[in-house]
């Protein structure tokens, strides 16, 4: 089992010291969340809370994921940086591919692309990207991303995007691994065809149920024998026995939730460093 620390909602001035502490404590990576802006009024339903309301406030910090990965890679040597999750269809494929590829190069290929199709229609409207059809568009964007990350002259003719030969540089030696977020049947099928899956905010029994459904989706897709990451965040911290059971069920990565919950944006740096040490001593050591 690998362990990743979420730095979602963490103020930017704390991030360098936290990244160094996380690496020193033995974690394998960091996860970062993605929002561009928060509209004053949001009618879209947040899918990861029973209330349908996002707990984070309008002033909660969300640094750009790929700028952050590139910066924190300069003060660490082995940490991986995973988006949890990057809302790919809220962008155009060229802007997204350039940012992801550059971060991969600057980090010596230590980035992992966790993506979701998004839930906040208001944010899509601000970027001019269609909310409807975003799932199919995501599939096509991933195809384009892999082409652009080849560093070769590539063209594409699809349902949503059509362009002649283009070439992107710089590029890493291979496209960063793609992990699909969500637990709907469609999301699990998309994940089964990709490099991995991300799920968050589960009680332990629900986690085992979804890991079972994920294994079935991979079996149906014929991908059980391929390398695959299954990353999960629980509502309550597991013990070591729970981690072993999760690993036996197919989980490969466990997230420690945002530091300072329920108020990661306002918790002190000292309390966050203490939490990193406590978690590491209990589950990693």
Angle of helix 185-192 relative to helix 134-148, nearest 10 degrees, comes to: 20
> Domain range spanning residue 238?
2-284
CB 32 within 8 A of CB 8: yes
**What pLDDT sits at residue 53?**
86
Instruction: Please name the residues in contact with 238: beta carbons below 8 A apart, sequence gap of 6 or more.
Output: 204, 246, 254, 283
Give the per-residue pLDDT at 169.
98
Scan for tokens 């089992």, then name that residue.
Answer: 1
Tokens 């999960």, residue?
232
Cα Rg, the chain, nearest whole Å: 18
Residue 243 CA to chain centroid, in angstroms?
A: 20
Total count of domains within the chain: 1
Collapsed DSSP state (helix, strand, coil) of residue 254:
strand
Q: Are 170 and 103 in contact (CB under 8 A)?
A: no
pLDDT (0 to 100) of residue 47: 85
Asked if residue 24 lies in contact with residue 5, where contact means CB atoms within 8 angstroms, the answer is no
123 backbone dihedrals φ, ψ, rounded to 5°: -70, -40
Q: Looking at residue 229, which CATH number applies to its domain?
A: 3.20.20.30
Cα gap 17→144, rounded to integer Å: 36
Q: Which residues of the chain have pLDDT under 70?
A: none
The half-sphere exposure of 161 on its side-chain side, counting CA atoms within 13 A, is 23
Instruction: For residues 74 and 61, give the distance between their C-alpha atoms in angstroms, rounded to a whole number.
Output: 21
Q: Which of 178, 246, 239 lies closest to 210 in space, CA to CA?
A: 246
Give the length of the chain.
Answer: 285
Task: State the Cα–Cα distance between residues 30 and 8, nearest whole angstrom.
Answer: 9
Distances (CA, A) of 92 to 114, 136, 141, 145: 17, 14, 8, 11
């Amino acid at each position: 089992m690998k362990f990743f620390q979420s730095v979602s909602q963490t103020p930017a001035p704390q991030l360098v010291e936290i990244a160094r502490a996380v690496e020193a404590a033995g974690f394998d990576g960091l996860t970062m969340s993605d929002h561009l802006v928060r509209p004053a009024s949001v009618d879209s339903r947040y899918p990861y809370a029973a209330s349908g309301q996002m707990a984070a406030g309008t002033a909660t910090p969300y640094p750009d994921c790929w700028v952050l990965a590139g910066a924190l890679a300069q003060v660490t040597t082995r940490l991986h940086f995973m988006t949890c999750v990057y809302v790919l269809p809220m962008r155009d494929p060229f802007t997204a591919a350039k940012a992801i590829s550059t971060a991969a190069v600057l980090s010596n290929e230590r980035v992992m692309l966790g993506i979701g199709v998004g839930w906040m229609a208001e944010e899509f409207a601000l970027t001019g990207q269609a909310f409807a059809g975003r799932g199919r568009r995501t599939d096509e964007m991933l195809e384009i991303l892999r082409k652009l990350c080849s560093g070769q002259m590539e063209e594409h003719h699809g349902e949503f995007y059509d362009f002649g030969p283009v070439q992107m540089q710089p590029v890493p030696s291979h496209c960063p691994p793609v992990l699909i977020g969500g637990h709907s049947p469609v999301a699990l099928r998309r994940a089964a065809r990709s490099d991995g899956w991300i799920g968050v905010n589960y009680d332990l029994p629900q986690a085992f149920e979804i890991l079972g459904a994920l294994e079935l989706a991979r079996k149906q897709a014929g991908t059980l024998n391929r390398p695959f990451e299954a990353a999960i965040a629980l509502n309550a911290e597991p013990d070591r026995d729970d981690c072993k059971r999760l690993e036996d069920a197919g989980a490969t990565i466990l997230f420690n939730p945002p530091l300072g919950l329920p108020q990661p944006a306002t918790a002190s740096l000292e309390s966050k460093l203490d939490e990193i040490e406590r978690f590491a001593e209990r589950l990693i050591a």
